[in-house]
Structures are given as C-alpha cells and as structure tokens.
Amino acid sequence: MKYRKVYFFLVFIVIPFITKCHNEHILASSIPKCGSHLLYKCLYLITGRLNSACIPEDMYKLNREKTFAAFHGLPNKRAIEVLKSFNAKVILIIRDPRDQIVSGANYFSKYFNEFKKMTVDQKIRELTHNSCFWTGRFMRDMPHNGSINVLYRKMLEWREYPFVYIVKFEDLVGEKGGGSRVASVTEVINIANHINCTITVSRAEVIADMIFGTIAEPAKPESLILNYSFKAGKIGQWQNVFSDQQKKLFKTVVGQLLVDLHYEQDFDW
C-alpha cells in the first residue's frame, strides 16, 4: 500500500511538474486503436496536462495550461489554418496496421453488438476493407468508404506539415509492450522537444518506465489517463490471430503500406 501511494504521488504530482514547458497549444492525433492513450499518458507525464476531446477549430476554448486537445481526424484545410494561427504543436501516433486491426476487433467486439456476432475472420475482413467502421464512430472528415490502407494514407497527410511530429507506437511503448526502453526514452525526449519542453534524460527514463499499462487510481477522476480501452498493448499481437488466409488478404490491401512505413521490407512475411 505504501509503495502504491508513492507511485501515484510520483505519477500525478511530481513527474509532470519537473519538466519546464512553454505554454504551447498541443494536439494529439491518431487513427483509433493506434495507441492514443499511450500518447495521452506520455503527454500528461511530460506537461501535467489532461487530454480533452476537441476539434482543432475549438482549441481556443481549452485552458492550455491544464489541457491538450485529443483528436481523431484528417488535416483538412480549416484545421491546418487554425493550428497555424495558434502556433500549435501536433503529435500523431501510428501503429502497425495489423496490430491496429486486431486491437480494433477486440474493441468493437466489446462495445458493438454487430461485432459480437461475427467470427474473427469476419471482423478482420470488415475492419480491413471498410473504413466506415472507424470513421462512423471515431473520425471526422474521412470518406465513409475505402480500406484501412486509404484511411492510413489519408491520415499520413499530417506529415506534410512541419509542426507535426509522428511517433510510432512500437517506439514509444517500451519493453513492457515488446519494444525497446532506449527507443521509448528517445521518443519521450523527441516529443518533449517538439512541444518545447525541457527534459533531462533521467526524467525521460522515469516517464518511459511509467507510460505502459493502466492506472487504477488517478488523482483526477475526469482524466482519461486510465486507458479505459487498454487490453494488451503489445507489439506483434497480430501474429497470434492472423490465419494464412488473413495474411494473404492483408498483403493485398496493405502490403505496400507496411513496406512504406518500414514495418516490413517486402511482402514475404
């Protein structure tokens, strides 16, 4: 019990306030099930700010000393104009589309009746081919048709803008999620630098060691740092789920995207 009290004191009181941050507007963006809450937790531990669901046009309503915007959406013209006018910093987190699909199948099965009735194969096929399952529930400005490949490539249009930093889930998640501690610490520092926060390597190491998993007793109940949709959060879960037929399907739809994002070197996986 004593250890838990010390842990929560460090997580919620000490760690977020030992970095020096400029008062930047911050927007955290992602495709759903790509590690949004991992990023939110990282940003909280760096800045002490909570995430608040908000479209870019409404960011002026946020108290930027206490919150940052969380947004699933494309970089449309109006959003870019607003973000530029605020001199905002955007962080986009992406993930191996295969793991994103598996995470999505688990999530939809838990919350949506039509998915509870589907087989695993049906779930993977639907989420791979039909972006409407994502856009209708989570995302704005995305055409309600097309595959997961279309969704990813539309979302990756964010990288055209210099105020956007892209981090991979696999690099941020750390050892507990099947990644590397060195990579996680590096990305914590990169994110802090992008939002103009001064952070030491030792502080980044502490944060990197804390960002994986859920927190059961947050100091502020309204916080979404609980990672309420967190299930496994590990790299390569698709390997335990995909059949040979599903691999073939995914290579057809997303094979080149996996190469372009450096998740694979070729189609031989």
pLDDT of residue 68 exceeding 80: yes
Entry pTM: 0.86
The predicted model gives 12-36 an average pLDDT of 76
Report the greatest alpha carbon distance in the chain: 53
DSSP state letter for 269: -
CB contact at 8 A, 81 and 110:
no
> Which of the four pLDDT bands, split at 50, 70 and 90, describes residue 161?
very high
When pLDDT is cut at 50, 70 and 90, the band that residue 113 belongs to is: confident
Q: How many domains does the chain have?
A: 1
Return the percentage of the chain with pLDDT > 90, whole number: 57
Residue at 243 is within a domain = yes
- Can you read off the two tokens belonging to residue 28? 């955290």
The proportion of the chain whose per-residue pLDDT surpasses 70, expressed as a percent, equals 80
Residue 266 is assigned to a structural domain of this protein: no
Lowest-pLDDT range of 21-25, 99-103, 133-137, 175-179: 133-137
Inside any domain, residue 267 = no
143-150 long-range contacts (CB < 8 A, ≥24 apart) are 147/253, 147/254, 148/97, 148/100, 148/101, 148/253, 148/254, 149/97, 149/253, 149/254, 149/256, 149/257
Asked if residue 157 is part of any domain, the answer here is: yes
Range of the domain at 30: 2-260
pLDDT category of residue 234 using cuts at 50, 70 and 90:
confident
Residue 268 resides in a domain: no
> Residue 109 domain-assigned?
yes
pLDDT at 19: 61
Residue 48 lies in a domain: yes
| Domain contains 269 | no
pLDDT band for position 74 (50/70/90)?
confident
Quick count: other Cβ atoms within 10 Å of Cβ 3?
7
Residue 34: which CATH number? 3.40.50.300
For the cut 50, the answer to whether the pLDDT of residue 225 exceeds it is no
Instruction: Work out the average pLDDT over 23-36.
Output: 91
